[in-house]
Amino acid sequence: MRLDINKPILDRNDTLAEENRRLLDEHGVFVLDLMASPGAGKTSTILATIAALRERYAIAVIEGDIASRVDADKISAHGIPAVQINTGGACHLEADMIRRALDTLDLDTLDLIIVENVGNLVCPTEFYLGENAKVMILSVPEGHDKPLKYPGIFQIAEAVVLNKYDTLPVFDFDEDEFRRVVHSLNPSAPVFALSATKGDGVSDWAGWLSARIESTRS
């Protein structure tokens, strides 16, 4: 006997993510989901973003890693609340993990939560967490061909950060080709070239993010 179901496969995750979304909306908190490969500079980009926006917004960070609290400790050292999620092997964050992290934060006092997803260019793309925006970071040393190899993450991202831009002279990275392919995959996504550790280009990225936050408040 045939039984029709016709439901999204990630129905349970999506339902929990919608609950996260409602909870965050009630408290007026904007959530950014940052995705990148290991070593692209997610934590450095978060620290640079905090430095640029902490006068304007109360920020907290949710760190997703397979193990350790190295990243959360780095963020906490700057006086920013940080929750570490250890996925214990899972290659991406899911909505229920975010919910448990949200329960440990004082949402009334926050404006912005930055979620550092597990370092991976594939798996995080399919999982809605209740975020307002997904943004992906690629670093120059990874190579300009990554959008051709991992198109999904470039298509789901609302904006793309090109990090470690100060290393451009020493790598064989074709920036024009990179921008052309990103544009063909995702025509509306802006690309922000920056150096998170040196600070170059961070203000354009932070300006885009604060405009995006304000657009959800109006």
Partner 1 sequence: MHEMGIVSGILDASIGAAERSGAIRITEVSVTIGELTEIVDDALHFAFDALTPGTLAEGATLTVTRVGARSRCGDCGTEYEHGRFDVSCPACGGYAVQLLQGRELSIDGVEIDLPEDGTDPIAQTSDASQE
Binding piece for partner 1, criterion CB under 8 A, among 43-51, 73-81, 121-129, 197-205: 121-129
**Least separation in angstroms between CB 49 and partner 1:** 26
Q: Which is nearer to partner 1, 108 or 174 (CB)?
A: 174
* CA–CA separation, 61 and 46 (whole Å): 8
Site for partner 1 in 76-115 (CB under 8 A): 90-92, 94
Return the residue of 113, 181, 194, 206 that touches partner 1, per CB under 8 A: 181
Instruction: Dump the DSSP string for 79-95.
Output: T--EEEEE-TT-SS--H
Is residue 183 within the footprint of partner 1 (CB under 8 A)?
yes
Q: Which is nearer to partner 1, 76 or 87 (CB)?
A: 87
User: Which residue type, as a one-letter code, is found at position 198?
Assistant: K
Q: Residue 112 forms beta bridges with which residues?
A: 30, 59
* CA–CA separation, 69 and 206 (whole Å): 26
Q: Residue 138 forms beta bridges with which residues?
A: 162
58: CB partners within 8 A, 6+ apart: 109, 110, 111, 112
**Least separation in angstroms between CB 169 and partner 1:** 28
- Say how many residues touch partner 1, by CB under 8 A: 34
Binding piece for partner 1, criterion CB under 8 A, among 3-11, 26-34, 63-71, 190-198: 3-11
Tokens 């919608």 identify what position?
A: 18
Contact yes or no for 185/154 (Cβ under 8 A): yes
Site for partner 1 in 141-170 (CB under 8 A): 148, 151-153, 155
Return the residue of 10, 51, 107, 191 that touches partner 1, per CB under 8 A: 10
Q: Which is nearer to partner 1, 3 or 170 (CB)?
A: 3
Q: For residue 40, which phi and psi values (nearest 5 degrees)?
A: -75, -15
Cα 114 → chain centroid:
7
Taking alpha carbons only, the member of 161, 171, 169, 146 closest to residue 196 is 161
Binding piece for partner 1, criterion CB under 8 A, among 37-45, 53-61, 98-106, 178-186: 178-186
4's tokens:
């029709």
Q: Which is nearer to partner 1, 9 or 211 (CB)?
A: 9
Q: Which residues bind partner 1 (CB under 8 A)?
A: 1-13, 90-92, 94, 122-123, 125-127, 148, 151-153, 155, 181, 183-188
